Amino acid sequence: MIAVAPIAQDLLDEVALSRAEYEAIVDRLGREPNELEIGLFGALWSEHCGYKHTKALLRMLPNTSERLLVAPGAENAGVVDIGDGYAVAFKIESHNHPSAVEPYEGAATGVGGIVRDILAMGARPMALMNSLRFGPPTDERQRYLLNGVISGISGYGNCIGVPNVGGEVVFDSSYAGNPLVNAMCVGIIEGGKVMSARADAAGDLLVLVGAKTGRDGIHGASGLASRTFQEQAEMRSAVQVGNPFLEKVLIEACLEAIQLPGVVGMQDCGAAGITSAAVEMAERSELGINIDVAKVPRRETEMSPYEVMLSESQERMLLAVKPGHEGALFELFEKWDLDAAIIGSFEDGGNVVVRDDGEQVSSTPVVTLTDAPEYRFNSPKPNWLEKLQNRDFSNLPDLETTPNEALLRLLASPNIVSKHTVWRQYDHQVQNNTVIAPGGDAALLRIQGTERALAVTTDGNGRIVYLNPRVGAAIAVAEACRNLSCVGAEPVALTDGLNFGDPETPDIQYQLQEAIAGISEAASAFNIPVVSGNASLYNESAGSAVQPTPIIGALGVLENVESHARSAFQDDGDAVIVIGTDSPWDTFDGLAGSEALAVLHGAIAGQPKLDLDLEVRVQGLCRSLIGRELLKSAHDISHGGLAVAIVESAVQGNTGVTIEHDDPFTDWLPALFGESQSRIVITCSADDADTILTTAADSQVPATKIGTVGGDAIRVGDLIDVSLTDAADAWLNGFGRVTTN
Amino acid sequence: MKFGIVVFPGSWSERDMHYAVADVLGYEAEYVWHGETSVNDFDAILLPGGFSYGDHLRCGAIAAHSPVMSAVKDFANGGGFVFGSCNGFQVLCESGLLPGALIRNDHLEFRCAPGRLRVESSRTVFTAQYVEGDVVSMPISHGEGNYQADDETLAMLESDGRVIFRYVDGENNPTADANPNGSRNNIAGITNDGGNVLGMMPHPERACEGLLGSVDGNPLWQSIAAAVDSGKS
């Protein structure tokens, strides 16, 4: 043990290293790190880059598949084979804290960052999605955050020519001090040329391309992303500023560059800038690396080596290039008016050597820098959770509302109301592939030159995960896959965005360990891998954590794009069938974590349930019926239960619907609005109903014919009778009324 | 028939235009880099949507001064067919090839939506294969598509039949509700005096296949090709 002179606490706080971690660094280096090295360790040992609290748990996730081309964690994003010589890279990433501080730039650079992760795989970005969480939209500050984030996504995303095909916007008071902004990008690789973020051999050049480097974003990874933050305004300089025009040009230039001989590796400069990008490349290449910060093109003067190494200036990529091939590369980047500079080289020896105009300012072993500590835990179930789960719904107070009023209220409630006023601000059609636009169960994008299509969705329900982290996270996977199945696509891979509170507290640890186990169980049931992901911890404000919110991004493949289904009802007289259940009416169990319970009773309680075997069968049946072109529509029952699901399909199809069923129920609230899993509302021409019911029985899937499409009203037995006009007005215009009051 | 599709740094519709004219309709098409100084090899020039040069200063303002636009102006002044949609329309206005200007949408938001357009004239080389008065569907996707011109220019455009596409409602009327951006007279597209330059905000290249929701953009490319063919024969 080396004697450690007491280092000032504020220096450690600046980079969010604990004293124990600092001592470990001294021990491994055999000396005290200098100021620059404290910065390097602070970044690479941050929660954001080092996954200190999640590394061990993430190893539980299923990571094998015949389709897998690039293993999870091996590169910037996982890559799966989708057939016909095409591969898909996709990943979800959070930009929560930057968006809390500066919503426009935080969200914009979140989009930019995930796009570059996909680009680094050699993929052309072909779709974006966003999963957003805010506090109640009735609050002025929340509307400021909401509008800033949406403008940032729209401002950046629309400029780069990648369609934004939707996602989620969800509200809960737990997110008021700490909104969640998760962005997913999907990219396509033609002809199998997957890029790697590694050099080939010692002597390969390290080339920085794209934007110039400034002082923006310093300590983004260590400070903003890896601890709870109290004084938001003070951290504003840690938020990067994006330039989508440069990003668009960078995408085109990099996609051309990887076709050049001698360009062997590509890596995006994201969190912790050049530091993280270069060290990760060195680690993957099992080489050392030499960087001269004086060679980095800058847009500000007198930047220190520390600032250059830790800047999170956007729109930059690192390339590994064989010596002698840099000439053609420079010509290409000059054509695109982008900087390209050799800032170093890969070397034998395994050290990261930083120089400033030739003079060595730091030398540390790659393995030490990347060997962030791994914290394991096994925390018990909190006592308060037991009580919430055991809540008895049969003695809920009587509601002073009718089913009609309850339906209209739920339709206009923030988490159910149509978000079309958000999506229409995103270009969701550029690239000419969008078959199903935002608003469907999943977006559907055809692959030009093939008969195939990709389905994509993001899902996550913090309330359900809060009530039971394991089952809730499994439900997020099940629902994401169900959304894919509702358009007819087979789920092939997942990406997870884990948004949790302070992992140093037992309750959050319990949520983390259980949620990751739940994702793992569900992904295994569907036999699909989790190919990429991101962990965002310390999502707290004023000592209060956000609801545990794993966001699942799911990718599905549809072999024949013509055989897809939409959620809109089609023709008068079509039969309405619910699959996954024997009765249209849900039970008290379905109220667990439901919108109805939250909106009408102001409560979050109950024990969420999921039968994974049934879920897999229900989805298989749905896909098979769509593939046989027997269905006119398919729509997942989720927020707001059966009643809301049929209104959504009715409004989208501009037709009414009548549900008539004599199965008895005990209480209209769960019967109409319960959110039990594994249920899909399908429609078909009346002649096909019997075939479908028989097929369902053969597949061991309960199914019931519950009604008929048509008319100009939503009618459910003698409980609900609402005109299509009123239902449409509540659902389509409710969001505008909530957010402009 | 050979289309030249101009590519500025920041363009993003060039690949979609190429797909619509070449992959869907089978015409020859090539990209033209913004540094090119001649476009005389082509039968028609297409200016794509996007954010040329980041749309810094004003939408289309920097592109209007690019080398390729000097060539496109010469091409147009010689009677060549030039079509621009979205950012291409903005570039045409900034270049002086079309009158008026496109400013920020009146509601201040970007808007991506289906566009319902009435074909106001089929007596142009761009619209000969449409039926005048027909209503067609082509998506819009822009933040600055609010067409403005002074009263005199507007009166001239209307009286000369140079308003080619207009946003209309479900009853095919150019009402305020149907106007997605605040454009004067619900104008979606106009031609120049000579009728050989058309600019419009909606995206015909996105309306090229039933699978994507509409094929109403295709007659526009077919009209151009027919006009070129008849000029050659």
Region of poorest pLDDT, from A231-235, A639-643, A685-689: A231-235
Residue A459 has pLDDT above 60, yes or no: yes
Q: Which of B52, B112, B177, B206 to mutate to test the interface with A (most CBs of A within 10 A)?
A: B112
In chain B, what residues touch A444 (CB-CB under 8 Å)? none
User: Least CA distance to B138: which residue of chain A?
Assistant: A429
Question: What b/e readout covers A513-527, taking b as 16+ CB neighbours within 10 angstroms?
Answer: bbbbbbbbbbbbbbe
CA separation for the pair A509, A381 (Å, rounded): 10
Q: Between residues A73 and B103, which one has the greater pLDDT?
A: B103
pLDDT digits (tens, 9 = 90+) for A430-448: 999 999 999 999 999 999 9
What is the number of residues in chain B?
A: 233
Interface contact B13-A426, CB threshold 8 A = no
Residue B233 has pLDDT above 70, yes or no: no
Residue carrying structure tokens 């800038």: A273
Q: What is the rounded average pLDDT of the residues A553-558? A: 98
- Distance from the Cα of residue A664 to its chain's centroid: 40
pLDDT band at A240 (very low <50, low <70, confident <90, very high): confident
CB < 8 Å from B in window 621-660 of A: none
CA separation for the pair A688, A705 (Å, rounded): 11
pLDDT band at A246 (very low <50, low <70, confident <90, very high): very high
At residue A71, what is the residue type?
A: A
Q: Is A739 on the interface with B (CB under 8 A)?
A: no
pLDDT at A664: 85
pLDDT at B231: 83
CB B45 within 8 A of CB B72: yes
CA separation for the pair A145, B217 (Å, rounded): 38
C-alpha distances out from residue A690 to A579, A701, A707, Å: 13, 14, 14
pLDDT band at A593 (very low <50, low <70, confident <90, very high): very high
- Give the H/E segment covering residue A90: strand A86-94
Which two three-digit tokens encode residue B190?
A: 């106009």
In chain B, what residues touch A244 (CB-CB under 8 Å)? 51, 54
Q: Is B212 on the interface with A (CB under 8 A)?
A: yes
Q: Is A10 on the interface with B (CB under 8 A)?
A: no
CA separation for the pair A533, A512 (Å, rounded): 14
In chain A, what residues touch B206 (CB-CB under 8 Å)? 429-430, 432
Distance from B52 to chain A by nearest Cα, in Å? 8
Interface contact A429-B113, CB threshold 8 A = no
CA separation for the pair A672, A665 (Å, rounded): 10
Residue A228 has pLDDT above 90, yes or no: no
In chain A, what residues touch B111 (CB-CB under 8 Å)? 424-425
Residue A230 has pLDDT above 90, yes or no: no
SS (H, E, C) A388-452: HHCCCHHHCCCCCCCHHHHHHHHHCCCCCCCCHHHHCCCCCCCCCCEEECECECCEEEECCCCCC
Distance from A436 to chain B by nearest Cα, in Å? 8
Residue A126 has pLDDT above 60, yes or no: yes
Question: In whole numbers, what is the pLDDT of chain B averaged over residues?
Answer: 97
pLDDT band at A271 (very low <50, low <70, confident <90, very high): confident
pLDDT band at A241 (very low <50, low <70, confident <90, very high): confident
Distance from B215 to chain A by nearest Cα, in Å? 12
Question: In whole numbers, what is the pLDDT of chain A averaged over residues?
Answer: 94
Interface contact A154-B110, CB threshold 8 A = yes
CA separation for the pair A408, A671 (Å, rounded): 16
pLDDT digits (tens, 9 = 90+) for B198-215: 999 999 999 999 999 999
- Nearest by CB to residue B141, choosing from A160, A429, A435, is A429
A420: annotated active-site residue: no
pLDDT digits (tens, 9 = 90+) for A385-412: 999 999 999 999 999 999 999 999 999 9
Q: Between residues A237 and A689, which one has the greater pLDDT?
A: A689
Region of poorest pLDDT, from A1-10, A323-332, A336-345, B104-113: A1-10
User: What are the φ/ψ torsions at residue B50 (nearest 5 degrees)?
Assistant: 135, -155
Interface contact B212-A425, CB threshold 8 A = no
User: How buried is residue B230: exposed, middle or buried, by Cβ count under 10 Å (0-12/13-18/19+)?
Assistant: exposed
Interface contact A336-B9, CB threshold 8 A = yes
- Give the H/E segment covering residue A445: strand A443-446
Which two three-digit tokens encode residue A303?
A: 């930047």
Q: What is the rounded average pLDDT of the residues B173-202? A: 98
Q: What is the rounded average pLDDT of the residues B1-25? A: 97
DSSP A222: I
Q: Which of A527, A529, A522, A460 is nearest to A497 (CA)?
A: A460
CA separation for the pair A45, A351 (Å, rounded): 17
In chain A, what residues touch B143 (CB-CB under 8 Å)? 158
Task: Name the percent of chain B in helix, strand, coil, to the closest 5.
Answer: 30, 25, 45
pLDDT at B209: 97
A48: annotated active-site residue: yes
CB A632 within 8 A of CB A619: no
pLDDT digits (tens, 9 = 90+) for A505-536: 999 999 999 999 999 999 999 999 999 999 99
Q: What is the rounded average pLDDT of the residues A33-48? A: 92
Q: Is B3 on the interface with A (CB under 8 A)?
A: no
pLDDT digits (tens, 9 = 90+) for A70-84: 888 888 888 999 998
Instruction: Please pick, among B36, B120, B205, B208, the residue that the annotation labels catalytic.
Output: B205
For chains A and B, what is the number of CB pairs under 8 angstroms? 81
- Give the H/E segment covering residue A124: strand A124-134
CB A600 within 8 A of CB A644: no
CB A497 within 8 A of CB A130: no
pLDDT at A38: 93
Residue A542 has pLDDT above 90, yes or no: no
pLDDT digits (tens, 9 = 90+) for A636-667: 999 999 999 999 999 999 999 999 988 888 89
pLDDT digits (tens, 9 = 90+) for A146-184: 999 999 999 999 999 999 999 899 999 999 999 999 999
pLDDT at A76: 85
Q: Is B108 on the interface with A (CB under 8 A)?
A: no
Q: What is the rounded average pLDDT of the residues B162-178? A: 97
Residue A226 has pLDDT above 60, yes or no: no
pLDDT digits (tens, 9 = 90+) for A611-622: 999 999 999 999
pLDDT at B81: 98
Q: What is the rounded average pLDDT of the residues A667-689? A: 97
pLDDT band at A192 (very low <50, low <70, confident <90, very high): confident
CB < 8 Å from B in window 224-263 of A: 243-246, 248-249
pLDDT at A424: 96
Interface contact B139-A429, CB threshold 8 A = yes
- Nearest by CB to residue A446, choosing from B12, B203, B211, is B211
